[in-house]
Structure formats: structure tokens, C-alpha cells
């Protein structure tokens, strides 16, 4: 495995960095820095999405035939790293990284033609309806039912923890189409238009006071038969494909290293004990260094996965390893921020978002203002996309052969 960049890749990186310097407005960078939730709010993400779309770089992880720029996995990594270091807002992951690849692989030509361009233009905003009240880790036990009625499917049931459902006009979801089959075999994958009666979205407020997730109730919701993706009963296969992308489809290390670099820079200015700064606090700096080493180790693993993909090998269960390590590190970052800011970080502004003209005035600086929300919101990392315990079980079974 050769992990050094080639001359062509270094030129490519320079091109990306120049573009970011010219085209990524400071306003969006500020917004991204002050985003403490898992996803960026659509108003922030969509502006950046439009800039990248105009440039032809939005679908950077998509094959060229579907509008991707035809980049290699290494180029994608270089792009993600440069974006993280420049504090670009997070793009809509659910449509670009999860649904897009599903439609490329399992969608009909009609579905691809109808949905992919609207993902790119931002005309459609998607949410993911997989989890239910008693079906999270044990997703295959889900109970939402879909019953065929003429040319339509009629869906009844409920979904839980549905991120950004309150912004979404479409939801991709799993529903049971066969009650009698083995539980994995009876599930199908649907594309649901949320702009219809029968769909109720109820907010769930997060620990830090953010509205990011919801409960969604489906009452005789109509889905045309042409909006089932794949075959009837193929939903579980598609869900596994999608979840592998959810766990390993992004490189987490660049953003983590960028966060840690900010903490290191701020440590030089934050007062510590006596006349010292936090950068002179040996225990704090040792904790920071441990996190940096782990993030660098994660980066090596992510590069190894990219090298595999470039050589035609699927990433497989290594993605669980990445999800596990990245989630723990995210929480480590939140803890370091709280240690860095001490009492100054013990504030939770009630107004959202924490950027823009209507942002609440930061007490004791923006860094202090985002410390507690970051800490609290990062708790979710070891839960969504499969909990740590579930990832460990996958690693034990498929990597260690236990
Ligand atoms: C912020 C956030 C956003 C989310 N967004 C979405 C979304 O957009 N769409 C969506 O569909 N879902 C979403 N989820 C749901 C997420 O995928 C589930 O919460 C997750 O899969 C865990 O399921 P659960 O909450 O039902 O917990 P449970 O599965 O009930 O787990 C409870 C505890 O038991 C442990 N446990 C369960 N089974 C096992 C086992 N077999 N072995 C060992 N330990 C086990 C778990 O690790 C956990 O600690 C989101 C969750 C969060 C927190």
C-alpha cells in the first residue's frame, strides 16, 4: 500500500485549496464552526451545495455516469480533507452519500432520472426512515407495514429519531411487505413523498436544546409502486449496503484533526492554573496528544480503506472499525472542549442557530459558547448509524472471527 500522494494528486490538492479560498464564503465557515449538531442546518448546507453543484464537484463520490467528477478515492479524500480544514459546512449526507449510491446500484433508470438530479439541485431534501420505537439495533424487527393496493403501496406505522424530517420533503424508508416471511426477507425499500396527508412529524428536542430529530407517524401514506427501490423483499439487502456507506462512506479523520487543531491553538490562549495557559497544563496536553494520535491512526485506516477501494476491494466490516473509533473520538473532542473552557463552557444558549445575524451573543467567546452543545450533541455519535456495542459485535464476528 502506497499512501504518499503523487505529483498529480498534489496539484489536485492545490486546485481544491485555491477553489476553497476563493469560493467558500467566511459566513459559511463561521456557520460550520458554530454548528454543534450532527448535520448542518439546510440553509447553511444548501448554499454550499449550490456552489459545489455549479462547479460540478457536488456529487464527488458518485460515478461519472451519474454526474460525478470522476475522481479517484484518493482525490475524494483530498477534497474532504481540504473541506474539513477550511471549515466547509457538512453537505446533506442522507441524499448524497446514502440514497444516491442506493439509486445508482438498485434504482431503475426512471428512478435515477427522476430523483438523482433533484438531489443534486437541492430541490428534494431527504430524511431516513429506518429506526422505530423498538427497532434500532434490531432493525430487522421493524413493524411499519406496506400493503399493496392497486398501483400503490399503503404504509402505516411510525419511525423514530428521524433526523431533519421537519425539513424533508422526501423520506427513504423500510417497511414490511410480507408478514409471514423470515423477518429480514419481508422488508422492502420505499421512496416516500412527505408532502401528503397522513404524515405527521413530531419534534424530539436534543440534550443541548437543538431540534434535529423527530418521530414520524405514517397513517395510510400512499407510495406509488414505481417508488419501491429494488425488488419486493430486497429491502434488507439494500439497507445493509446503505448502512455500510453510512459507517464508512465518509472520512472522519480530517474533520477530527481540524477540530483538534483548533483546540490546540486555543489552548495557547486559554488561562489554566495560576499564570499558566492550558497549553502548559501537562495533563490536558497529554489528553489532547492522545486524541491527535488516535485521529492520525484513524486517518491511516481510512487511507487504507481508500487504497482497498482503489484496488477494487470492497471496504466491508472495516467500516465498523472506523465508525467505532471516530465516534469515540468525537466524544473525546467534546470532553476536551469542556476541559479547555472550564466554567466558561457551562453555558447553553437557548436560541439557534449559533451563527448568523440572529445568533445569541456569545458569553466569553464563540469557543466557550459551543463547548457544552458540542459535548452534549456528540453523545449521539456512539448511537446513530449503529451503536458502539453493535459495531464491536460486527468486528468480533467478521474481523476477529470470534
Ligand atoms: C442523533 C440521532 C440521529 C438519528 N438519526 C436517525 C435517522 O435519521 N434515521 C433513522 O432511521 N435512525 C436514526 N437514528 C436512530 C439510530 O440508528 C438508533 O438510535 C440506533 O440504531 C440504536 O437503536 P435504539 O435507539 O433503538 O437503541 P437500542 O437498539 O434499543 O439499544 C439500546 C442499548 O442496548 C444496546 N444493544 C442493543 N442490542 C445489542 C446487542 N445485540 N448487543 C449488545 N448491545 C446491544 C445498544 O448498544 C444500546 O446501548 C438516530 C439516532 C440518534 C441518536
Query: Whole-angstrom Cα distance, residue 84 to residue 88?
Result: 6
Quick count: other Cβ atoms within 10 Å of Cβ 6? Answer: 10
- DSSP assignments along 283-312, one per residue: HHHHHHHHHHHHHHHHHHHHHHHHHHHHTT
Q: Verify whether ligand 1 is closer than 6 Å to residue 108 (CB atom).
A: no
Asked whether residue 104 is assigned to any structural domain, the reply reads: no
Residues 200 and 299 in one domain: no
pLDDT tens, residue by residue, 309-349: 777 777 777 888 999 999 999 999 999 999 999 999 999 99
* CB-count exposure of residue 367 (10 Å: 0-12, 13-18, 19+): buried
Q: What is the pLDDT of residues 98-150, one digit of tens each?
A: 999 999 999 999 999 999 999 999 999 999 999 999 999 999 999 999 999 99
Give dist(CA 256, CA 252) in Å, integer: 6
C-beta atoms surrounding 379 within 10 Å = 15
Pocket-testing residue among 173, 214, 383, 397, ligand 1, by greatest number of atoms within 8 A of Cβ: 383
Ligand 1 binding pocket includes 162 (Cβ within 6 Å): yes
- Number of domains within the chain: 3
Q: Clarify whether residues 261 and 365 are in a common domain.
A: yes
- Ligand 1 pocket: which of 35, 36, 129, 136 to mutate (most atoms within 8 A of CB): 136
Query: Same domain for 391 and 276?
Result: yes
- Helices 7-23 and 73-85 sit at what angle, rounded to 10 degrees? 40
Indicate whether 100 belongs to any domain. no
Kindly state whether residues 280 and 384 are assigned to the same domain: yes
Q: Is residue 182 part of a domain?
A: yes
| One domain, residues 177 and 215 | yes
| CA separation for the pair 254, 257 (Å, rounded) | 5
Of 31, 32, 86, nearest to 359 by C-alpha is 31
Residue of 35, 39, 137, 189 with the most ligand 1 atoms within 8 Å of its CB, for mutation? 137
Comparing C-alpha atoms, which of 107, 230, 227, 95 is closest to residue 155?
227
Could you tell me if 44 and 152 lie in one domain? Answer: no
Supply the CATH number for residue 326's domain.
1.20.140.10
Q: How confident is residue 249, by pLDDT bands cut at 50, 70 and 90?
A: low
Mean pLDDT, the chain, rounded, equals 94
- Does 386 contact ligand 1 (Cβ within 6 A)? yes
Report the nearest-CA residue for atom 25 of ligand 1.
Answer: 136
pLDDT of residue 204: 98
pTM of the full structure:
0.94
Return d(Cα 255, Cα 231) in angstroms, integer. Answer: 37
Where helices occur in 59-99 by DSSP H, the ranges are 73-85, 93
Whether 340 and 256 map to the same domain: the answer is: yes
CATH code of the domain in which 211 resides: 2.40.110.10
pLDDT tens digits, 156-178:
999 999 999 999 999 999 999 99
For the chain, the first-to-last Cα distance in angstroms comes to 27
Together in a domain, 77 and 130: no
Cβ–ligand 1 contact at 215 (below 6 Å):
no
Q: Which domain holds residue 389?
A: 251-399
227 and 177 share one domain = yes
Per-residue model confidence as pLDDT tens digits over 7-55: 999 999 999 999 999 999 999 999 999 999 999 999 999 999 999 999 9
Q: Are residues 57 and 160 in the same domain?
A: no
Based on the domain organization, do 203 and 268 belong to the same domain? no
Distance 334 CA to ligand 1 centre (A): 21
- Of the candidate ranges 48-52, 220-224, 310-314, 370-374, the one whose mean pLDDT is the lowest: 310-314
Residues with catalytic annotation? Answer: 246
Name every residue whose Cβ is closer than 8 Å to that of residue 188 and which is 6 or more positions away in sequence.
146, 174, 175, 176, 177, 228, 230, 231, 232, 233, 234, 235
Phi and psi at residue 232, in whole multiples of 5°? -60, 130
Q: Say yes or no: CB of residue 387 within 6 Å of ligand 1.
A: yes
- pLDDT over 60 at 2, yes or no: no
Ligand 1 contacts CB of residue 128 (under 6 A): yes
Residue 385 CA, closest ligand 1 atom number: 17
Amino acid at each position: 500500500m502506497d499512501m504518499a500522494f503523487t505529483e498529480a494528486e498534489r496539484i489536485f490538492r492545490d486546485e481544491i485549496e485555491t477553489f476553497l479560498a476563493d469560493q467558500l464564503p467566511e459566513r459559511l465557515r463561521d456557520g460550520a464552526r458554530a454548528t454543534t449538531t450532527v448535520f448542518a442546518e439546510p440553509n447553511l448546507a444548501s448554499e454550499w451545495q449550490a456552489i459545489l453543484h455549479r462547479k460540478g464537484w457536488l456529487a464527488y463520490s458518485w460515478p461519472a455516469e451519474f454526474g460525478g467528477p470522476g475522481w479517484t478515492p484518493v482525490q475524494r479524500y483530498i477534497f474532504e480533507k481540504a473541506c474539513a480544514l477550511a471549515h466547509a459546512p457538512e453537505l446533506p449526507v442522507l441524499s448524497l452519500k446514502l440514497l444516491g449510491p442506493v439509486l445508482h446500484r438498485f434504482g431503475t433508470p426512471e428512478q435515477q432520472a427522476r430523483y438523482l438530479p433533484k438531489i443534486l439541485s437541492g430541490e428534494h431534501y431527504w430524511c431516513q426512515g429506518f429506526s422505530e420505537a423498538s427497532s434500532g439495533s434490531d432493525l430487522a424487527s421493524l413493524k411499519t407495514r406496506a400493503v399493496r393496493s392497486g398501483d400503490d403501496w399503503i404504509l402505516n406505522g411510525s419511525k423514530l429519531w428521524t433526523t431533519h424530517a421537519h425539513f424533508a420533503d422526501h423520506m427513504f424508508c423500510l417497511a414490511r411487505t410480507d408478514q409471514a416471511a423470515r423477518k429480514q426477507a419481508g422488508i422492502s425499500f420505499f421512496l416516500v413523498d412527505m408532502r401528503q396527508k397522513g404524515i405527521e412529524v413530531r419534534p424530539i428536542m436534543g440534550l443541548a436544546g437543538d431540534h434535529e430529530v423527530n418521530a414520524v407517524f405514517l397513517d395510510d401514506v400512499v407510495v406509488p409502486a414505481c417508488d419501491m427501490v429494488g425488488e419486493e423483499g430486497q429491502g434488507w439487502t439494500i439497507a445493509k449496503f446503505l448502512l455500510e456507506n453510512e459507517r464508512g462512506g465518509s472520512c472522519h479523520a480530517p474533520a477530527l484533526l481540524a477540530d483538534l487543531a483548533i483546540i490546540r491553538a486555543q489552548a495557547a490562549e486559554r488561562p489554566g492554573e495560576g499564570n499558566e495557559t492550558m497549553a502548559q497544563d501537562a495533563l490536558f496536553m497529554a489528553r489532547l496528544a492522545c486524541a491527535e494520535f488516535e485521529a492520525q491512526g484513524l486517518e491511516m485506516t481510512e487511507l487504507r480503506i481508500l487504497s482497498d477501494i482503489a484496488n477494487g476491494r470492497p471496504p466491508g466490516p472495516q467500516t465498523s472499525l472506523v465508525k467505532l473509533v471516530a465516534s469515540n473520538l468525537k466524544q473525546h473532542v467534546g470532553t476536551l472542549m469542556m476541559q479547555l473552557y472550564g466554567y466558561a463552557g457551562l453555558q447553553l444558549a437557548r436560541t439557534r442557530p449559533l451563527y448568523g445575524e440572529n445568533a445569541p451573543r456569545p458569553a466569553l467567546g464563540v469557543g466557550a459558547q459551543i463547548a457544552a452543545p458540542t459535548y452534549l450533541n456528540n453523545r449521539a455519535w456512539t448511537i446513530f448509524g449503529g451503536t458502539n456495542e453493535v459495531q464491536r459485535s460486527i468486528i468480533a464476528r467478521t474481523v476477529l472471527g470470534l
